[in-house]
Structure 1
Amino acid sequence: MSFNWKNQTVVLTGAYGGLGHVLAEALSEQGADLVLLGRDSNKLQQLQSALKHTSDVVVGDISDRTTTSALKTLLENKQSPEHMLINNAALSDASFLNNSDEADIENVLKVNLLTPIVLSKQLMPWLQQAEHARIINIGSSFGGIGYPGFSTYCASKFGLRGFTQALNRELINTTVNAQYLAPRAMATGINTSAVNALNEKLGNAVDKPQKIARWIISSIEKNHSEKFYGWPEKLFVKINALLPNMVSKAISKDQKTIQSYLNKKVNS
């Protein structure tokens, strides 16, 4: 079946963030009918006015019932041949667990894992109304590799990956399917200055959001159930699944460097 973005009504969370903003622009260029979600009304309106095609916005915390109620009311009048939910909103907490704030831990798990699960549940009736529908969960290479200094973030992305895989199997023989699409490090505001400095010190590749958006759009069009981006990170994900001790030994060589940058409380 050929893919046509003009047939799509797309709900995009975290719409004005680094990756979300670029995705919104790219999908608007493709002709998709967008519903943009975020907490900052001014940033959403600025994004909305910059897009090629008209779009709708829903302002608020997507984990709040008032926001999801407004979204569902809006979607009652948003019918198209194909529906899509892109769970893109995410937070990071770059610090060793002993130095992590408990409120930050809960917030990362809430935004990155619990909210995509609940929102997918809440929008399932709307998704099922279309001829075809997709749930796109934006993951991370840290959803396949546990990395020191990112234990909470890794937990959220590993969890999102497991949720996507299980949900996709639940949805076999239905009109809805789920995809887990996982970039490596991105040049966006989700990274703290310490994380940026660590990536530079270790020589880790950091992709521009425009490149990642192109990869994600291609994977959606090709209906990849799971896709990791970037070499050698996607290879390490496969090795980690088979030989985790080998990956642990490789990472341990950088342990002192990682500790020097992340083994302290870092404010985003």
Structure 2
Amino acid sequence: MTPSDASVVLTGAAGGLGSAIARQLKKDGATLLLVGRSAGPLLSLAQSLKGDPQNRSDVDVLVVDITTDHGRAAIIDAAAARQANVLINNAAVAAFGPAQDLQPELARRMLETNVLAPMLLTAGMLPMLCSRERAQVLNIGSTLGSVGVPGFSAYGASKAALRIYTEALRREFADSRVQIQYYAPRAIDTDFNTPQIVAFNKATGSPSDTPEAVARQVAHMLNSESRQRFAGRTEALAARLNGLFPECLDGAFGKHRRALESLKLTPGAS
């Protein structure tokens, strides 16, 4: 779908990656419904994107919590009013640290945001999207959802769930008007990464990308309608190898275990 034909619902729009995606899609000519929980950053982003005072309808804001029934219903109503034909499930919560330190409240919040909310929002929007001439659902995953990395057991599990959901959905809607897509970034240079994660990535030599570079890839995916894409050649290869021979990669994560231990994380760090 060309950007000029896209009416996009973008969740997690106020975050570092979300705002970069919004700027890229707006530059490419898409209309946007920016969704998030933080009114201040969301409104500031929308204001910065509204260039033409005669055409303010190309960017709109909806401040809601996507983990609630009320919030998702509001998104669906607003999307219908704007005749949305693209849903980008980008909102996410991070979790990092030793597996034994995972706190129940963080685990619940992460799974609700990273897995349950996009599943239920997508389910609610699918009838509307199926009525469009063309429509797309793009789920933002992670390479950690395909390769288990020490320190990211819970977060990786949430993204693995989203990946499998996307895969099943793509096959279920293969003969429909709705294209189902999955993009898996590697580490991104945003505040989503805590200082502990930044230190861990540095210690393990894990590469990262700017949010602008990732946003360009997201825009490319929408335009090309490709089904699945992983950031980085090494990460894409690791995901394929891990899918075929997961035990063969077990020995490659010694430095990750050592880095995790050396950080001396406090319980519940994320």
Shorter-chain TM-score category? Answer: over 0.9
Range 188-197 or range 247-256, more displaced: 247-256
One-letter amino acid matched to 2:29: G
Inter-partner Cα distance in structure 2 for 1:267 and 1:255: 16
Shift of 1:247: 1.2
In the alignment, which residue of structure 1 is the partner of 2:28? 30
| TM-score for both structures, normalised by structure 1 | 0.94
Aligned residue type for 2:21: L
The 4+ residue runs of structure 1 with deviation greater than 3 A are: none
Code of the residue aligned with 2:196 in structure 1: it is A
Residue 59 of structure 2 corresponds to 55
1:122 lines up with 2:136 in the alignment: no
Residue 19 of structure 2 is matched in structure 1 by: 21
TM-score normalised by length of structure 2:
0.93
1:194-233 correspondence runs (5 A): 194-233=196-235
Cα shift at 1:67: 1.8
**1:23-172 alignment, distance < 5 Å:** 23-52=21-50, 54-79=58-83, 83-172=85-174
| 3-state SS of 1:134 partner | strand
Partner in structure 2 of residue 179 of structure 1? 181
Measure, in 1, the Cα distance between the counterparts of 2:2 and 2:226: 16
Structure 1 CA distance for aligned equivalents of residues 143 and 269 of structure 2: 23
CA contact 1:94–1:262 (8 Å) conserved in 2: no
Q: After TM superposition, give the deviation of residue 69 of structure 1 in Å.
A: 2.3
Residues 92 and 113 in structure 2, CA contact (< 8 A), matched pair in contact too: yes
| Ranges in structure 1 where 5+ consecutive residues have no aligned partner | none
Bigger relative contact order (CA 8 A; separation at least 6):
2
Tell me the SS of whatever aligns to 2:219: helix
Which AA in structure 1 matches 2:20?
A: V
Separation of aligned partners in 2, 1:218 and 1:124: 23
Matched residue SS, 1:24:
helix
Deviates more, 1:228-237 or 1:250-259: 250-259
Task: Please name the residue that 2:239 is paired with.
Answer: 237
- Report the secondary structure of 2:76's partner residue: helix
CA RMSD of aligned residues (A): 1.5
| Structure 2: stretches of 5+ with no match in the other structure | 52-57
CA distance in 1, matches of 2:114, 2:209: 20
Q: 1:140 to 1:78 in 2, by over 3 A?
A: same
AA aligned opposite 2:214: I
Between 65-74 and 151-160, the greater mean CA deviation after superposition: 65-74
- Give the whole-Å Cα distance in 1 for the aligned partners of 2:256 and 2:68: 40
Q: What SS does the corresponding residue of 2:67 show, helix, strand or coil?
A: coil
**CA deviation profile, 1:194-242 (whole Å, cap 9, x unmatched):** 1101111222111111111111211222222111011311111111111
Cα distance in structure 2, aligned partners of 1:251 and 1:37: 37
Moved more, 124-133 or 156-165: 124-133
Compare 71-80 and 223-232 and name the one that shifted more. Answer: 71-80
Query: Letter of the aligned partner of 2:70 in structure 1?
Result: T
**Count of residues in correspondence between the two structures:** 264
Q: Deviations over 1:18-46 (max 9, x none)?
A: 10000001101111110010011111110
CA distance in 1, matches of 2:15, 2:204: 26
CA distance in 2, matches of 1:262, 1:131: 53
